[in-house]
Amino acid sequence: MKQTVIVFIILLSMFTFAVTISGCKKKDPEQQTNEFRATKEPAQSVLGKAYQKAQGVECQSNLSQLRQLMQIKVDETRDESGEAPTFTSLSEIGAPSSVTKCPISKKPYTLNEGNRVTCTFEGHENF
Ligand SMILES: [Zn+2]
């Protein structure tokens, strides 16, 4: 009889432990979501930094796609004298809207002199 009580107590404590763990797991994604939501500012935590780094790769990929597209358009529209055209907006070169803004800051990329596309977000200036 005593053994049954002990087994019951052990089972009960294991159950409590399991509930505590699942409770903790529920909290974590919320914290992550909050962190990820606030990605317009440079991240402070390790997780946030890792996430922004991943998004930085996406930003770099967007920029390289835009630059390739720009090169094609410049070559296509070069006039007889060989003069390169100057574009004033990214929609002019037919860039899909999905790649025309930074995935972190959500700000549109800037089109500079010489048809150079850049990101204005801190740390992305040299992408
Ligand atoms: Zn960017």
Query: Worst-scoring range by mean pLDDT, 19-28, 46-55, 65-74?
Result: 19-28
CA of 31 to the centre of ligand 1 (A): 24
Total of domains in the chain: 1
CA of 68 to the centre of ligand 1 (A): 17
What pLDDT, on a 0 to 100 scale, did the predictor assign at position 1?
Answer: 65
Q: Is 13 within a domain?
A: no
Structure tokens, 94: 């037919």
CA of 25 to the centre of ligand 1 (A): 32
What pLDDT, on a 0 to 100 scale, did the predictor assign at position 80?
Answer: 78
Confidence of residue 38 (pLDDT cuts 50, 70, 90): very low
Segment 54-99, tens digit of pLDDT? 889 999 999 999 999 999 999 998 877 888 889 999 999 999 999 9
Query: Could you tell me which of 106, 84, 111, 81 has the C-alpha nearest to residue 95?
Result: 111
Range of the domain at 87: 38-118
Q: Is 15 within a domain?
A: no
Tokens 């200036």 sit at which residue? 125
Q: Is 53 within a domain?
A: yes
Q: Is 105 within a domain?
A: yes
